[in-house]
A = this chain, B = another copy of it.
Amino acid sequence: RALRIAVIPGDGIGQEVMPEGLACLRAAADKFSIDIELDEQFKDWATCERYLRTGTMLPEGWKEILAPYDAIYFGAVGMPSLVPDHVSLWGSLIQFRREFDQYISLRPCRLMPGIACPLANKKVGDIDFWVVRENTEGEYSSIGGKMFPGTDREVVIQETVMSRIGVDRVLKYAFDLAQSRPKKHLTSATKSNGISITMPYWDDRCAEMAKGYQDVSVDKYHIDILTAWFVLRPELFDVVVGSNLFGDILSDLGPACTGSIGVAPSGNINPEGTWPSLFEPVHGSAPDIAGKGIANPVGMIWAGQMMLEHFGHKEAADTMMKAIETALETGGSQVITPDLGGTGTCESLGGHIANLISNL
């Protein structure tokens, strides 16, 4: 049966990069005869414009409507001048993660040709790892509250909650991923020397899980020094796994260290496929450049690439990746977008990549 994809462009440049992402997906699907249905009926979902008009980011019944899809291909959300971010985000993206139990957040950290690396003396091939983040529990619980408000005794408490099920399943995903890669190396982010209850538990579960993966080499770093190593020795890493908060930090820092935060993708994954997974660019809605046609479409296209890879279409995914790299390396300044020093447009770069996919 067809792969069914719900297409939600969302706010700002989400609307501009989405057509390029779709063109590339269609080019790959044509070339490799992938049966894929890209359902574009969700144009105003997860938009702040919709929120202003109707009072909600998503229509009633959204969960039942989206549930039958295999994945959501998502642009971006947020227009802080119209709607506060916590309203727009918690009313859409965070809902998807929770309700569809997308308990894995997955992000590549890879040096790309044509993109200046902020670290000194690194070249393409030096940095190439994945950050796997727990995406549903941990530090992001909403349990807690305030006592003695407005007085000198005022105290605020928030709980971090880790369940065995929650910790084990993200570790398992990360170990499986590491095992599938040539280096077979896993790094666990911890802070058991300071956060003395949840983090030692995380370490214990990791050690337990490691017993089932004798061929995977494992190390752990405290999060403080781990962020330092991301900058000093990023070539050390292969797969890095962290709690919701640590993974959140590392999956921004990692793409930053490769200069690719503007072009990197992100998967929010429900590995069992019980619910739809979601693939999106890391960049946000970028209201400052929205409407100008100069947004870089690579994040959106790369997110599509991740999506095909996730569903096992390896050849198509490899071709898309090759096309992205070729375009960044040899597209030329008239094709490349201004963020990368060119004079091209979202369309010129997106069209170029789509062409390469068809003709590579």
Contacts and interface: CB of A to CB of B under 8 A. Distances in A.
Oligomer: number of copies: 2
Contacts of A295: none
A198 B160 contact: no
A156 B162 contact: yes
Contacts of A117: 120
B140 A152 contact: no
A68 to B, nearest CB: 29
Interface string A240-281: 000011001101110111000100000000000000000000
Interface string A121-161: 10000000000000000011010111000011111111111
Interface of A, secondary structure class, is: mixed
A161 B119 CA distance: 36
B194 A261 contact: no
A193 interface: yes
Contacts of A155: 161-164
Contacts of A198: 144, 156-158
A98 interface: no
Interface stretch (A6-14, A19-27, A222-230): A222-230
A52 interface: no
Contacts of A164: 151-155
Contacts of A244: 194
A195 interface: yes
Contacts of A151: 164
Contact of A256 (B165, B231, B255): B231
A152 B139 contact: no
A228 B201 contact: no
A230 to B, nearest CB: 8
Given A155-B162, A155-B164, A232 B256 contact: yes
A89 interface: yes
B162 A228 contact: no
A340 interface: no
A233 to B, nearest CB: 9
A159 B140 contact: no
B157 A157 contact: no
A181 to B, nearest CB: 25
A196 interface: yes
13 contacts: A119-B120, A119-B231, A120-B121, A140-B195, A140-B196, A146-B201, A152-B165, A153-B163, A156-B201, A157-B161, A158-B195, A224-B251, A232-B261
Interface of A: 85-86, 89, 116-121, 139-140, 142, 144-146, 151-165, 191-198, 201, 223-225, 227-229, 231-232, 244-245, 248-249, 251-253, 255-257, 261
